[in-house]
A and B are shown apart, each in its own frame.
Chain A
Amino acid sequence: MKYCLIGINHKTAPVEVRERLAISESRLPEAVRSLASRPDVEEGIIFSTCNRVEVLARSVDIVPDLRGFLYGHFQMESSALDSHLYEYSGPDAIRHLFRVASSLDSMIVGEPQILGQVKEAYAVARSVGAVHSHMDALLSRAFAVAKRVRTETSVGSSAVSVASVAVDLAKKIFGSLQGKQVYLVGAGKMSEIAARHLIAHGAGAIFVANRTHERAVELAKKFNGDAIRFEQLYDMASEADIVITSTGAPHHIFRREHGEMFLQRRRNRPMFFIDIAVPRDVDPAVNELDGIFVYDIDDLQSVVTSHVADRQREASRAEEIINFEVQRFLERLDTLDVVPTIVSLQDHVETIRQAEIDKVRGRLGALSPEQELAVESLTKGIVNKILHTPITTLKGAAKDARQKDPEATTIIELVRKLFNLNSSRANLPRAAKQKTDVEKASLKS
């Protein structure tokens, strides 16, 4: 059994290549179906987001030709694709999946969307029947690992965009943004984004002032806010808890004396100025006033930078968790490998037992229910007692195989040979079903 993964992402391929490979949501089921229908693929799943296209497949004995699948599906020349592709197999493929789901492989490390995208891809693959027990177990493990990374490290907790940093800071000042008034001075794109973030976090009324009043009216309409005439700029400002400035004015619009005036009118309630204009709209001296906090674009940017560094630091802790989890998953896989052998062994012996009972029944004549029961439990008892040690040994051997103990593999081989299990396995539908159940149970534990 082997896991293989092939794909491109934002690190290996420019957007021109990625967009040619991107599979739209509506076409994804078809693509997954065609992947799973390949003879060399047992189970398969495809992840397609704007930053990556990846194909993950499980095969039984042979290495699946995933490159061939990609060339065929996208009708692309190998030369156009090969230099961008990465390929992983076995433990590396599992590790890669865990890293993707935990957002360690993302463009912005720790961004939360990727887990949802992986879950969607899983839902699609499941709905077309492309994943069964093994892939099921692998994916649910990946989700659990992602959750563990999220809760045990702070890789996704700090804000890494200017707008989200502004929201964070506002929360450090005001606690809740509920009902806080936001004043946009200058109607730039950046301030619009910042305002949108603040509103998403509960901020209340929006006022807009702009030198061109029409633009202010237009922007105010977007937020259900009010447009203020630029001449009345200072009258409204003391009402606002958060002021976002982005005018093209060559000089400071808000100076120290304005700040003092606002504070007096507000009875010292704090105010937060977000100055994203260059040259700056707010005199840095305003920040010296008790209760007014002024952040310019460089301040915000430097918080972003330090948070990005934090995330990178946390990411290395996350990698340790992932290494541990990969190891753990592989160990489970190994006990899983031995499960078919155990099941075939049990089935083999059970068939013998049934056959022997049938044979002897003719000679015994009619049996009373009590006698019937006694024969059943006698034969079953013998079978179970004999099988107990071999099964325990097999389970132990699976663990030893993990430690690369050559003897362990020999034991498993030997058992199969002794009982001639390789041939009897295929024609036992009951065993197959039971196998899946046992595997599921042992993987999900």
Chain B
Amino acid sequence: MFACALVYMPHLWMRVAVGLYGLGLLYALVALSGKREVLARIILPALGLGAIFHFVALAEAYVSSGELAPVTISQSESLLAFVLIACFFGVYWRYKTTSPGILVFPLVFLLSLSAAIGQEPPQFDSPLLRSGWILFHITLILAGYAALFFSFVSSLIYLVQEQRLKSKHFDGVLSHLPALEVMDDIGFRSLLFGFPFMTLGLIAGSVIAQASYGPTYFRDPKILLSILMWAVYMVLLFSRWSAGWRGRRAALLSTVAFIAATLAWTANYFSSVHRYVAQ
């Protein structure tokens, strides 16, 4: 009881980060209305600062709980948001475009908001969570998710830009979208980058599950969905790599992969294997 009266520091940092990410959300909304000059100047420093606070919150939460891996759904959300914003900066560093932010910022904001609201000091303990394997598994999978999301976002932007070029109408708010080939490159590279992570992450997960639950884990909905997602991922990557699929077809596949990923993510709520919280 006494502990509750004190401010749990990771919460404070997290809330600061959420506030800064809120600017990102605002930027995404304003970008759609075309007037983004003022926000554009402060958005990168603000988000960078947000990411630093976020990192501090993550590090402190893990250090104080003694768990190596994210324990609750909130913590996974928080970690995913962090990986997404890190990817955004990676893409920005390479391509100097903030356009993916239009979709990435809102997602980062929602994930981190949900994490900040639902956050509670861990109250249970599981030997599994202290194993390095599980951290390995979760971090890799989250990096895979983030890459998939970037690929999805860039195919959407590609589609919009393609539509504008085809219809030959350039008026309005989206006149600063990046070039088609840039979006295509971002989409393809994030897939390339994410695939090994996703694969290794799934392998690590299987090893852990095999060790702790035996072969029954395979029938778990979360696991099935993850395998489906991985399959779509592979098809997507292969079709782009071998046939140079882009535009509508690539966007369609990205969407399917992204939906599968979202399902796999939400399956946390139904999965028995993944429910760490004490039964």
Chain A interface residues toward B at CB < 8 A = 169, 171-175, 266-270, 287, 290-291, 293, 295, 299, 302-303, 306
Residue from the list B166, B178, B179, B180 in contact with A287, Cβ < 8 A: B166
**B180 touching A174, Cβ below 8 Å:** yes
In chain B between 208 and 251, which residues have their CB closer than 8 angstroms to a CB of chain A? 243-249
Asked whether, in the complex, the Cβ of A303 is within 8 Å of the Cβ of B244, the reply is no
Given contacts A287-B166, A306-B170, contact A175 B182 (CB under 8 A): yes
Identify the closest chain A residue to B241 (Cβ). Answer: A267
A303 with B170: CB separation less than 8 A: yes
Q: A267-B243, A270-B180, A270-B181 are in contact. Are A290 and B168 (CB under 8 A)?
A: no
B181/A173 in contact, CB under 8 A: yes
Q: Quick check: A291 and B246 within 8 Å, CB to CB?
A: yes
Complex interface: chain A residues within 8 A of B245 (CB): 268
* Complex: chain A residue closest to B179, CB-CB: A175
A174-B181, A269-B244 provided; 20 other pairs, C-beta below 8 A? Answer: A171-B179, A172-B161, A172-B165, A172-B179, A173-B180, A174-B179, A174-B180, A175-B181, A175-B182, A266-B244, A268-B243, A268-B245, A270-B181, A290-B162, A290-B248, A291-B246, A293-B165, A295-B168, A303-B170, A306-B171
A contact residues around B170 at 8 Å (CB):
303, 306
Q: In the A-B complex, list the 8 residue pairs whose CB atoms are closest, starting with the nearest.
A: A267-B244, A175-B179, A268-B244, A175-B182, A290-B247, A175-B181, A173-B180, A174-B181
A291-B247 contact, Cβ under 8 Å, with A175-B181, A270-B180, A270-B181: yes
Q: Which of B108-153 contact A (CB under 8 A)?
A: none
From residue 153 to 207 of chain B, which have CB atoms closer than 8 A to chain A?
Answer: 161-162, 165-166, 168, 170-171, 177-182
Can you spell out 23 A-B residue pairs with CB atoms less than 8 angstroms apart? A172-B161, A172-B165, A172-B177, A173-B165, A173-B179, A174-B180, A175-B179, A175-B180, A175-B181, A175-B182, A266-B244, A267-B244, A268-B243, A268-B247, A270-B180, A287-B166, A290-B246, A290-B247, A290-B248, A302-B168, A303-B168, A303-B170, A306-B170
Interface of B is mostly: helix
Q: Which residues of B have CB within 8 Å of A266?
A: 244
Q: Which residues of B contact A287 (CB under 8 A)?
A: 166
Interface bin, chain B: 20 to 34
Chain B nearest CB from A155 CB (Å) reads 15
Q: How far is the CA of A311 from the CA of B201 in the complex (A)?
A: 53
Contact A268 B168 (CB under 8 A): no
CB-CB nearest in chain A for B165: A293
Interface centre among A171, A291, A295, A302 (most CB of B within 10 A): A291
Q: What is the minimal beta-carbon distance from A46 to any residue of chain B, in angstroms?
A: 38
Question: Please, which residue of chain B has its CB at the minimum distance from the CB of A175?
Answer: B179
Docked complex Cα distance between A266 and B248 (Å): 17
For A290, the chain B residues whose CB sits under 8 A away are: 162, 246-249
C-alpha gap A36/B14 in the complex (Å): 69
Residues of B within 8 A of A267 (CB): 243-244
Residues of B within 8 A of A173 (CB): 165, 179-181
Q: Closest CB of chain A to B181's CB: distance in Å?
A: 5
Contacts of B161 in A (CB 8 A): 172
**Shortest Cβ distance from A165 into B: residue:** B170
Closest Cβ of chain A to B97, distance in Å, is: 10
Complex alpha-carbon distance, A268 and B250, angstroms = 11
Measured between beta carbons, the chain A residues less than 8 angstroms from B182 are 175
**Residue of B with least CB distance to A290:** B247
Decide yes or no: A299 and B168 within 8 Å by CB, A172-B161, A290-B248 being known contacts: yes
List B65-92 residues whose CB lies under 8 Å from chain A: none
Which B residues are CB-close (under 8 A) to A303? 168, 170
Which residues of the partner chain A approach B248 to less than 8 Å between Cβ atoms? 290
State A302–B195 Cα separation when bound (angstroms). 44
Q: Would you give the shortest CB distance from B178 to chain A, in whole angstroms?
A: 7
CA distance A287 to B181 in the complex (A): 17
Inter-chain CA distance A291–B163, complex, in Å, is: 11
Q: How far is the CA of A269 from the CA of B161 in the complex (A)?
A: 15
Instruction: Give A174 to B179 CA distance when docked, in angstroms.
Output: 6
Residues in chain A near residue B180, CB distance under 8 A = 172-175, 270
Cβ distance A261 to chain B, nearest Cβ, rounded Å: 15
Q: Whole-angstrom distance from the CB of A239 to the nearest CB of chain B? A: 15
Instruction: Give the Cβ gap from B252 to chain A, nearest Cβ, in Å.
Output: 11
Residue of B nearest to A299 (CB): B168
The docked-state distance in angstroms from the alpha carbon of A362 to that of B182 is: 88
Q: How far is the CB of B157 from chain A (nearest CB, A)?
A: 12
What residues on B are CB-neighbors of A306 within 8 Å? 170-171
A174 to B246, CA, bound (A): 14
Most interface-central of A171, A175, A302 (chain B CB within 10 A): A175
A116 CB to closest chain B CB (Å) equals 26
The complex places the Cα of A267 from the Cα of B247 at a distance, in Å, of 12
Question: What chain A residues lie within 8 Å of B166 (beta carbons)?
Answer: 287, 293
Closest to B184 in A: A270
**Which residue of chain B is the closest to A310 with respect to CB atoms?**
B171
CB distance from B92 to the nearest CB of A (A): 15
Nearest residue (CB) in A for B171 is A306
Chain B min CB distance to A231 (Å) = 29
List of B residues within 8 angstroms of A269 by Cβ: 244
